[in-house]
């Protein structure tokens, strides 16, 4: 396993499959009340520039369940690159803690932390990528469909960090990905080209959400205006109006299609309450699986210390 998890593109297909197996095992152990204190005595630093519910709660809870401890740094405490150079923060933290989770605006900040820390760095979200979310989503899909490949994901809406991480995943695993966005809101060009090179005809871009969801096993959406884009919210509501995931759109997908959303959701914008709370929705399974997948990631990256 690599030292850090910055992108799904950094790990192999076999490592993805191993993480899915480990996450499933940890989930089962927890359900049976069997402890797994693989990180006993270890400390995790949580550096957050953005607000969070799921990322903070699941990493802190996961670290506790694995026998370790976490230290949360709110946006005004470290002020990466302002109060202190990112590299210097990394060089300090590596002397005290066993791992770092960073949730930042600039992707380069997490890259810089990893470059200058001898301890594992986990990308808890950047403006470019959200690998822990999509790894957790793969766990949810595997549980529901019984396989990690041979399915179709239709991503509807903004070509944001989650869409980018789906592109990283499709380059590693044999599933199909169709992304529907308005012109000018496509995913990262480099990641898209890389995914097309690796997955070829299994990756499709379109401006038509109906075309994207046709025969989809999973219909996925996210907010139209991400954190830091609040000033664009009104304009984005106008541009994305035809990209709402609603009952009418789902008529063009498979009847049993899974509806996914990484949350938080803006009900009545990118998704209707009828669909979000409907029988096809697995959004809270996704949220729960953040805990189990992130535990698996921490065990894979930080568990080596205990073995040595």
Q: Do 118 and 143 fall within a single domain?
A: no
E strand segments, the chain: 43-48, 69-73, 99-103, 121-125, 152-156, 176-180, 203-206, 218-221, 258-261
What would the pLDDT profile of 166-181 be if each residue is shown by its tens digit? 999 999 999 999 999 9
Catalytic residue among 54, 107, 130, 236: 130
211 belongs to a structural domain: yes
- Domain membership of residue 2 (yes or no) is no
Q: State mean pLDDT over 187-194.
A: 98
75 band by pLDDT with thresholds 50, 70 and 90: confident
Specify whether 181 is located in the same domain as 151.
yes
Q: Which of 65, 188, 222, 294 is catalytic?
A: 222
The CA distances from residue 73 to 76, 100, 261, in Å, are 8, 11, 27
Same domain, 74 and 163: no
From 54, 107, 261, 290, the catalytic residue: 290
**Mean pLDDT computed over 4-15:** 97
Q: Average pLDDT, stretch 18-43?
A: 97
Residue 18 is assigned to a structural domain of this protein: yes
Residues 29 and 137 placed together within one structural domain of the fold: no
Residue range 151-159: mean pLDDT, rounded: 98
For residue 65, being part of any structural domain is answered with yes
What is the arithmetic mean of pLDDT over 1-24?
A: 97
Q: Which of 65, 133, 244, 294 is catalytic?
A: 133
User: What local confidence, expressed as pLDDT, does residue 229 receive?
Assistant: 81
Q: Is residue 133 annotated as part of the catalytic site, yes or no? A: yes
pTM, to two decimals: 0.96
Total count of residues recorded for the chain: 308
DSSP conformation class of 8: G
In three-state form (DSSP H/G/I as H, E/B as E, the rest C), the secondary structure along 45-66 is EEEECCCCCHHHHHHHHHHHHC
Please answer whether residues 68 and 43 qualify as being in contact, where contact means their C-beta atoms are separated by less than 8 angstroms.
yes
Per-residue model confidence as pLDDT tens digits over 78-107 = 888 788 999 999 999 999 999 999 999 999
Q: Quick one: 137 and 278 in the same domain?
A: yes
Q: How far is CA 8 from CA 14, 19, 172, 228, in A?
A: 12, 11, 8, 23
Q: Is 290 a catalytic residue?
A: yes
Mean pLDDT to the nearest integer, 279-298: 98
* 180, 265: one domain: yes
Judge whether 103 counts as a catalytic residue.
yes
Whether residues 209 and 247 fall in one domain: yes
Instruction: Quickly state the pLDDT bin for 304 (edges 50, 70, 90).
Output: low
Task: Report whether 122 contacts 102 (CB < 8 A).
Answer: yes
The candidate with the shortest Cα–Cα distance to 302, out of 44, 6, 17, is 44
- The token pair at 153 is 């994901």
- 241 found inside a domain: yes
pLDDT over threshold 90, residue 305: no
- The answer to whether residues 45 and 176 belong to one domain is no
User: What number is the average pLDDT over the span 4-10?
Assistant: 98
Confidence check: pLDDT of 235 > 80: yes
178-202 per-residue burial string, b: 16 or more CB within 10 A, e: under 16? bbbbbeebebbeebbebbbeebeeb
Are 101 and 74 in contact, with CB atoms under 8 Å apart?
A: no
pLDDT of 85: 95
107, 262, 292, 294: the active-site residue? 262
Whether 46 maps to a domain, the answer reads: yes
Mean pLDDT to the nearest integer, 249-257: 97
Give the span between the Cα atoms of 64 and 70, in whole angstroms. 8
Known active-site residue 37: no
Number of domains in the chain: 2
The arithmetic mean of pLDDT across residues 259-278, rounded, is 98
93 backbone dihedrals φ, ψ, rounded to 5°: -60, -35
Q: Using pLDDT thresholds of 50, 70 and 90, give the confidence band for residue 306.
A: very low
Torsion on CA atoms 60, 62, 68, 73, rounded to nearest 10: -20
In a domain, 196, yes or no: yes
- Band of residue 246 on the pLDDT scale cut at 50, 70, 90: very high
CA distance 211 to 213: 6
Which one is catalytic: 4, 42, 103, 137?
103
Q: Considering the domain boundaries, does residue 308 fall inside one?
A: no
Q: How many angstroms separate the CA atoms of 3 and 10, rounded?
A: 10
Whole-angstrom Cα Rg for the chain: 19
Q: Domain containing 242: what range? A: 132-287
Are residue 111 and residue 242 in the same domain, yes or no? no
Identify the helix (H) or strand (E) that includes residue 289: helix 283-302
Same domain, 279 and 143: yes
| Same-domain check for residues 103 and 159 | no
Name the 3-class secondary structure at 80.
strand
The mean pLDDT value for 181-188 works out to: 97
Do 126 and 136 reside in the same domain of the chain? no
CATH number at residue 112: 3.40.50.1370
């Amino acid at each position: 396993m690599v030292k850090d998890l910055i992108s799904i593109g950094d790990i192999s297909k076999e490592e993805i499959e191993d993480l899915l197996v480990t996450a499933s095992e940890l989930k089962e152990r927890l359900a049976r009340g069997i402890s797994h204190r693989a990180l006993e005595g270890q400390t995790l630093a949580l550096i957050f520039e953005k607000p969070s519910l799921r990322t903070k709660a699941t990493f802190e809870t996961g670290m506790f369940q694995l026998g370790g401890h976490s230290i949360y740094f709110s946006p005004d405490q470290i002020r990466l690159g302002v109060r202190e150079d990112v590299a210097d923060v990394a060089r300090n933290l590596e002397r005290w803690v066993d791992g770092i989770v960073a949730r930042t605006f600039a992707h380069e900040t997490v890259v810089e932390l990893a470059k200058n820390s001898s301890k594992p760095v986990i990308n808890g979200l950047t403006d470019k990528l959200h690998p822990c979310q999509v790894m957790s989503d793969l766990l949810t899909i595997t549980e529901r469909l019984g396989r990690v490949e041979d399915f179709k994901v239709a991503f509807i809406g903004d070509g944001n960090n989650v869409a980018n991480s789906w592109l990283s995943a499709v380059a590693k695993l044999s599933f199909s990905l169709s992304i529907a966005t308005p012109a000018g809101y496509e995913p990262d060009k480099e990641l898209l080209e890389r995914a097309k090179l690796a997955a070829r005809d299994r990756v499709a871009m379109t401006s038509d959400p109906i075309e994207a969801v046709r025969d989809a096993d999973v219909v996925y959406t996210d907010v139209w205006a991400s954190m830091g884009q609040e000033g664009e919210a009104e304009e984005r509501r106008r541009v994305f109006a035809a990209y709402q995931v609603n009952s009418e759109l789902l008529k063009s997908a498979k009847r049993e299609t899974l509806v996914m959303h990484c949350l938080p959701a803006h009900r009545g914008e990118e998704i209707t309450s009828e669909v979000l709370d409907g029988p096809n929705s697995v959004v809270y399974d996704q949220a729960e699986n953040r805990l189990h997948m992130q535990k698996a990631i921490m065990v894979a990256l930080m568990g080596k210390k205990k073995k040595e």
